[in-house]
Structure 1
Amino acid sequence: MSKKSILLLVIVMLCSTLFAGCGGNDKKANAPAADGKKLVIYTSMKESLISGIVEGFKKKNPGIEVDYQSAGAGKLMAKIAAERQSGHILADIIWTSEVPDFYSMKKEGILEQYKSPLLNEIVNPFEDYDGSFTTARLGTLGIAINTDKIKTPPTQWSDLLKPEYKGAFAIADPALSGTSYMSVALLEKQFGWEFFEKLHANQARIGKGSGQVIDDTASGELAASLAVDYITNDKIKKGAHLALYYPPELLVVPSPVAIFKGTTKLDAAKKFVDYLLGPEAQALIAAEGTLSVRPDVKSPEKFKLPEAAEALKRAIKINYNEALASKEATIKKFTEILQVKK
């Protein structure tokens, strides 16, 4: 066996080991099937959401077996890259919130074009839509505050420059979190780098993952953070002293779903996409505190989320291809501005 083959085998084995323990905090997490008999889904959605959707799909389609892998989008993309090197992507479907990744995969020609018959029932944020991927969820980010520390709710992004947030506001590291990267790109698009310069002057911090900055806000280490909707709402549900507020310029990050080209389970994959876009699955999504793509599926009032159409109207617009091309430079600039100067 050549050195190159040995190295490739080691990479694949490492990826397999790495992902064996991923999949959220639930007691049971399914490992991806490798026998070619089951529909396999790679997703960054948390375990409690994807497991409910998969169970619902299986009840509607009793002849289709499903396995899934729930992990961070960055780890999933690394796994896919290793599998492509070995000659075969094990997954049939991918569903994450990292829009630039989907444009990259589309460009590389590894996604199947599929336009669901339910397309006319959902909102679609992609003006260049061609069926390579379809939005299945509209993630939103706002300002999460520790209600013991911040008494006056923020109403504008500029409120983060006030004294009560000095040294106590954080944004997850965009080099570690794709959702955070999209948020940084959106805020820079709307307000320019001057906004981040002002955040730095108010001693804003770079946090770790998107979940970690919310945990730090809940614990009181931070007074506030740039926060993902469903993660924050889950913490609130469990009793955390948090509240989530949305300034007028909304950060909306679509969560696309796509089918990998060459899958031997194309019909089953199409059925899953159709189910995911349908009212039953979308109701599960809305119940998690994030926006459904169906106008007929309303978010519970307690989440204080706008309607999907309104959210897209308020959303900061961005060219995703440009966001993909400038990712490295944007992360570098952000880090240079916000990192603590020694």
Structure 2
Amino acid sequence: MKMTKSTAVVSAILITLAAISLMSACSKKAEVASGGGAQGVSGKLIVYTSMKESLISDLKAEFVKQNPGVDMDYQSAGAGSLMAKIAAERESGRIMADIIWTSEVPDFFKMKADGILIQYKPKGIDQILNPLEGAEDYFVPARLGTLGIVYNTTQVTKAPTSWRDLLGSEFKGAFSIADPALSGTSFVSVALLKEKFSDSFFRDIRANGATIGKGSGQVIDDTASGELAGCLGVDYITFDKIDKGATLAIAYPPEVLLIPSPVAILKDTQSIAAAQQFVDFMLTKEAQQIIANNGTLPTRRDVTVPSKYNLPKVDDAVANSIKIDYISMMSEREDRIASFKAIMQK
């Protein structure tokens, strides 16, 4: 069949349009993969998180405001419960969440090793302080949780300045650490203290009557009620109690217990653009300010932490934090817990 001049022109136009469409699609794909962020994203986004309800709801409100096309939902529960849910969903064929955000750093290294996270370098990562090594862009800290010596101000009138202050008479028989077998945060804290001071630290506080408590929230409740003079306590849980009138304070010795809270994209996501946009959002100044306003350290230096919390400066906290190999810590979990309990339950 002989091609006429008009059909040749039409064919040329169609080929040109197809090429433009392909180039546009490739350009958008490259932008998303490189952390450029997708503007005007839409779709369903499900976040699994261990963060407190007030924090994640505040973040959701701001994220949806900035991304009205995204239908975001979240499930807030303990990290252990969320990991069990993810394991069950993997068995059934598909993880339902797009995003996972907790404070259990070892879980993220395990998920990375299991191949259930997507590698993604978010926009704004150069603006944050990142104390994690070996993440390889599979996860990034969205906040920096801290633990310190929480004490009842009616029983301990002088703020502790050192971990050795726990050997004083004010804390004799009245200091507790949450069970590391029940609390992932407590497990990491115990591992950090052992890394810095060895098991001798636990032997010394045990000799002064220190005990193993239950959950991270319970030991703070017992300190607020006066049953304990002090405990190893999480920042935002303590501040929530103080806001409600508890006679508590938190002191930070020079060797800081800093636990990053990573955020990551799960590989089964059906909303990759929205998931990437959420991770980008979590590193923005707006999101980081919401995190700081909820009583924990942001990862950005240019965010103001309310003075009422008396938290250490972000730079100082990162510089003075106790460092640890999370992968080794994860593989030695059971032995570390058993060793701690053997000392503390004598």
TM-score range, shorter chain: 0.7 to 0.9
Question: So what's the TM-score if we normalise by structure 2?
Answer: 0.87
Question: Aligned letter for 2:273?
Answer: D
Matches within 5 A, 1:42-121: 42-121=48-127
Identical residues among aligned pairs (%): 60
| Partners of 1:161 and 1:198 within 8 A in 2 | yes
Aligned length: 304
For the 8 Å contact 2:95–2:268, the answer to whether it is kept is: no
- For 1:324 and 1:184, the matched residues in 2 are separated by 13
CA distance in 2, matches of 1:295, 1:149: 35
Counterparts of 1:47 and 1:158, CA distance in 2: 35
Indicate conservation of the 8 Å contact 1:298/1:307, yes or no.
no
* One of 240, 245, 260 as aligned partner of 2:266: 260
Whole-angstrom distance in 1 between the partners of 2:62 and 2:241 = 25
Q: Which runs of 4+ in 1 moved over 4 A?
A: none
C-alpha deviation, 1:157, in angstroms: 0.3
1:41 maps to what in 2? 47
> Using the alignment, how far apart are the partners of 1:117 and 1:170 within structure 2?
41
User: Deviations for 1:252-311, whole angstroms, at most 9, x for unmatched residues?
Assistant: 000000000131101000111111111111111101111000110021112111221211
Partners of 1:259 and 1:135 lie apart in 2 by 13
Q: Extract unaligned runs of 5+ from structure 1.
A: 1-36
2:16: which partner in 1? Answer: none
| Partner Cα separation in structure 1 for residue 219 and residue 287 of structure 2 | 29
Task: Look up the equivalent residue of 2:236 and give its one-letter code.
Answer: Y
Kept in 2: contact 1:190–1:316 (CA 8 A): yes
**Offset, 1:127:** 2.7
CA distance in structure 1 between the aligned counterparts of 2:237 and 2:164, rounded to whole angstroms: 23
2:157 matched residue in structure 1: 151
Matches of 2:172 and 2:304 in 1, distance apart?
36
1:75 is displaced (CA, Å) by 0.8
2: CA distance between counterparts of 1:122 and 1:211?
29
Matched, 1:204 2:206: no
- What are the Cα deviations for residues 167-220 of structure 1, in whole angstroms up to 9, with x where unaligned? 100000100110000000000000000110111111111111111111110000
Query: Separation in 1 of the partners of 2:147 and 2:96?
Result: 32
Deviation (angstroms), 1:128: 2.3
Supply the distance in 2 between the matched residues of 1:53 and 1:152 (Cα, whole angstroms).
37
1:162 counterpart residue number: 168
Please name the residue that 2:249 is paired with: 243
* Cα RMSD, aligned residues only: 0.9
Q: What is the SS of the residue equivalent to 1:38?
A: strand
Which residue matches 2:278? 272
Correspondence 1:136 to 2:142: yes
Structure 2: tracts of 5 or more residues without a match: 1-42
Task: Answer whether contact 1:229 1:289 (CA < 8 A) is retained.
Answer: yes
- TM-score under structure 1 normalisation? 0.88
Contact 2:148 2:257 in 1 (8 A): yes
